[in-house]
Amino acid sequence: MSDHDLMNESAEALLQPYGMRFLQAPRRAAQGRPDGVHYSSELQLTVGADGNPWKTDAMASETSTNNDGNQSGEDTNTDPW
Amino acid sequence: MPDQTAVMVMTTESDTTADLVVEELNERSVPVFRFDTAHFPTDVTLTAQLEDGWRGSVRFGEREIELARAGSAYYRRPSEFVMQGSMSGAARRFAAAQSRAGLLGVLVSLDCLWVNHPGRNGDASYKPWQLTVAEQVGLRPPRTLITNGPEAARRFVKEIDGPVIYKTLAGGVVDDDGVPKGMPTSIVDPDGLDDSIALCAHQFQEWVDKHHEVRLTVVGDEFFAAEIHAGNDAAHVDWRNDYAALTYEIVDVPDDVRRGVVELMCRFGLVFGALDFVVTPAGEWRFLEINPNGQWGWIQTVTGLPISTALAGLLQGGSTT
């Protein structure tokens, strides 16, 4: 590969489709979970320190993590299908 | 569905939205088998033999589900298959492809209700296809151009003679050199329509003047609609820009919209969908998109709409009617 080719390849690598100009960095990080919150393999859901279902972040997981790459906050996701 | 059937829930352990459904099923004493595809093949074992349909089981830890007992499956947020790190890259790619085809191939061929069948999710995820069907069933999507032609984009903007938006055709998060970034719907600057449009397909739509938006969650034949009112300019363009600026109200779905949505869901073979509409100042509902595996937990949280109850009922019944 010639220097000319390398320069062209380098220049092409900098090209971005029009739509990418609208990308936004994460606004805020995903919220951490309180101490004691863990997944219960018995109940097959997340529970609090007291062992009861912990569901308060069903909202947070879908709304506070947008743009930070946490796919739980997205309507579309990487699908193994 | 016979009493002894079980509900498969395919999602991550951290999916607290799925928790809402699992909790409902637990309270109803409906057997649940929850696992994530990321645990296959390391911690999940599939054994399936073709004997007038697949006979065998899936085992995950101490739990096991007989394939014949699967009455329904909730395909929520399963993650990518994870192969053992001790294999070469080529071996991992081979193993992942085989695992995906084997596990998912067996499961989707079971005679059970899928919410939704991943193949139907895949079909309905094509936004141009959604828009075609939406137009056919009278849901009045915005005028739309999909192109990689810069001149066509400039011509479209001129023809619209008003604000035009750009929105992605696929994916909500983009990996920007290792930094995951979101891409909300954005207003187009006509002077910025340059040749970079030629680098991939782009979607442009007329801006539909909006009074508010509606997130309509459909579960079987149940409709849960919530008005979303934006409290600032950024959220007015795309409510995902600022959830804190949003307020919600439960709303009834007009009959003509309901008929169109039922037809759209039917054509795509969906039993669940999260649809977005613009409602104009004149009160007209205009279809924006359907998210076949869209989010609904926060809508339930802020409105009290019993979506998880409906999902649990659908999965327990194994039927949409």
Flag if B243 and A74 touch (Cβ within 8 Å): no
Minimum distance, in Å, between the CA of residue B200 and any CA atom of chain A? 6
How far apart CA B308 and CA B285 sit, in angstroms, is: 25
The values of phi and psi at residue A14, to 5°, are -85, -10
Flag if A81 and B192 touch (Cβ within 8 Å): no
Q: What is the pLDDT along chain B (321 residues), one digit of tens a residue?
A: 445 799 999 999 988 899 999 999 999 999 999 999 999 999 999 999 999 999 999 999 999 999 999 999 999 999 999 999 999 999 999 999 999 999 999 999 999 999 999 999 999 999 999 999 999 999 999 999 999 999 999 999 999 989 999 999 987 677 777 777 778 899 999 999 999 999 999 999 999 999 999 999 999 999 999 999 999 998 888 888 888 889 999 999 999 999 999 999 999 999 999 999 999 999 999 999 999 999 999 999 999 999 999 999 999 998 533
Looking at chain B from residue 256 to 285, which residues have their Cβ under 8 Å from any Cβ of chain A? 274
Looking at chain A from residue 9 to 48, which residues have their Cβ under 8 Å from any Cβ of chain B? 15-26, 39, 41, 43-46
How far apart CA A49 and CA B171 sit, in angstroms, is: 35
The whole-model pTM stands at: 0.91
Give the per-residue pLDDT at A26: 67
Nearest to A59 among B9, B200, B301 (CB): B301
Do the Cβ atoms of B117 and B107 come closer than 8 Å? no
Nearest to B199 among A15, A54, A77 (CB): A15
B62 part of contact set with chain A, CB < 8 Å? yes
Looking at chain B from residue 78 to 117, which residues have their Cβ under 8 Å from any Cβ of chain A? 78-81, 100, 104
A81 part of contact set with chain B, CB < 8 Å? yes
How many Cα atoms sit within 13 Å of B316 on the Cβ side?
A: 18
